[in-house]
Chains A and B, each alone.
Chain A
Amino acid sequence: MDVEVFQLVGLGIVAAILALVLKQHKPELSLFIAIAAGVIILLMMTGRLVAVVAVLDDMARRANLDQAHLSVVLKAIGIAYITEFGAQVCKDAGENSIASKIELGGKIIILSLTLPILVGLIEVILQVLT
């Protein structure tokens, strides 16, 4: 199971070389190779990711933390994960403005996701103060 790092690095290097080969003739296809390599590497990591999330769930349940808080944290991580993927692909394609818009959108989604918890926190603080 731990041998995946060699597979990962080998795949990344081969994909980079193939993308370079295709860059002179067909730049758009080299972008496709970059996207494909990124997706394959992320799909290889899903097994370990599921294990990590399961451990987090178990620890949250043992510390009888509210399930909603943990799901908000996981959602924020998932949104950041995908936003980062999309933004990097756009940067690869040379479209920095689109990449920054994607990142802005991701931040706004995460902000709107965590707003209720923020409001709850502020209410608790106000109760303590008054």
Chain B
Amino acid sequence: MSVDIIFKIAAIGILISVLNHVLNRAGREEISMMVTLAGIVVVLLMVIDMISKLFNNVKSIFQLY
């Protein structure tokens, strides 16, 4: 299983927090809010994809149909 997903999520998180600081300094709070939401949605899609893979695995292993 690819371990780099964790580093991707961490990179997105750090990027978002830096962008937020910059945007807040520039006085654009609403855009920084949008950036936060966009980042969270991207990470959510990645994590949900992994969770669905895990659930399919467990279904096949434990015959949970």
Q: Which chain A residues have a beta carbon within 8 Å of chain B's beta carbons?
A: 11, 14-15, 18, 21-22, 25-26, 28-30, 32-33, 35-37, 39-40, 42-44, 46, 49-50, 53, 71, 74-75, 77-79, 81-82, 85
Q: Within the complex, what minimum Cβ distance (angstroms) separates B13 from chain A?
A: 4
27-65 of chain B: CB within 8 A of chain A = 36, 39-40, 43-44, 46-47, 50-51, 53-55, 57-59, 61-64
Contacts of A35 in B (CB 8 A): 47, 50-51
Is the CB–CB distance between B5 and A40 below 8 Å?
yes
Q: How far is the CA of A21 from the CA of B54 in the complex (A)?
A: 26
Chain B residues with a Cβ closer than 8 Å to the other chain, count: 33
Q: Does B26 contact A (CB under 8 A)?
A: no
Chain B: interface secondary structure? helix
> SS class of chain A's interface: helix, strand, loop or mixed?
helix
Chain B interface residues toward A at CB < 8 A: 1-3, 5-7, 9-10, 12-14, 16-17, 20, 36, 39-40, 43-44, 46-47, 50-51, 53-55, 57-59, 61-64
